[in-house]
Amino acid sequence: MPTAAEHQSKPIAAQIRTERGSRKSQELRANHLIPAIVYGHGQEPIAISVPTAQTESILRSGAHVADISIDGKVEKVLIKAVQYDYLGIQIEHLDFLRIDPNQRVTVAVSLNFRGVPKGTKEGGILETQMTEIEVDVLATAIPSEIRVNVEDLALNAILHAKDIQLPKGAKLIDNPEAIVCSVRAIKEEVAEVDAAATSTEPEVIGKKKEEEGAEGAADAKGGAKPAAKK
């Protein structure tokens, strides 16, 4: 399973930002740069900008850690936060946290479900309750994803967080009993819905109107009934 360190061939060439503000940030994005900040390890935060293409490539790879070059000094950072625009397409801002290569960090890693559960052959369907899992792991050994084989899941089977095979050295932070996915029967539920729909006969409005119309026609044919004599 590839780690974050294997996804990056060269450090991100960052530039220090001396001017701040929304207008300057818009100018950076127009020039294919993303405004960002680097902080942590007892050092002063530094406002920087990073190349859009290289940064997006690293993010698409699923990497959590990157090397950033600032004024010729390379620092290893954790991609702490990524802020997108309202459409969720363009990156608006990035937060980088300085880390020690030997430091352990807590990160959320995406789950990649593999295989077709055998329970689906019995009329079941795979339902996923979690798409990522939080683990404690060495900063340089953060996996880009964690693969989850679901082929052996039978009908009504449940896979808990504690059942997932984690990378060597990683520790589970999420609740061990949290449900990751399950194979649920769907045929019985459909049958119950159909039974409930046919258990009571719906009112036939058209029929009622026809009966009322027939009564009205009969009254018109026979004439109005005389008023009772006093």
pLDDT tens track for 136-180: 999 888 988 999 999 999 999 999 999 999 999 999 999 999 999
Q: Which two tokens stand for residue 225?
A: 């009934």
Give yes or no: residues 60 and 130 share one domain. no
Q: Which two tokens stand for residue 30?
A: 């127009």
Determine the Cα–Cα distance for residues 40 and 7; give it in Å rounded to an integer.
23
Is the full-model pTM beyond 0.95? no
pLDDT score at 10:
85
pLDDT score at 132:
95
Q: How many domains does the chain have?
A: 2
Structural domain of 65: 4-99
Give yes or no: residues 14 and 95 share one domain. yes
Q: Which residues contact 196 (CB under 8 A, 6 or more apart)?
A: none
In a domain, 59, yes or no: yes
Residue 155: Cβ-neighbour burial (10 angstroms; 0-12, 13-18, 19+): middle
Per-residue pLDDT tens digits for 40-76: 988 899 999 999 999 999 998 888 899 999 988 999 9
Angle at the Cα of 62 from the Cα atoms of 149 and 21, rounded to 5 degrees: 150
Give yes or no: residues 123 and 61 share one domain. no
pLDDT band, residue 114 (cuts 50/70/90): very high
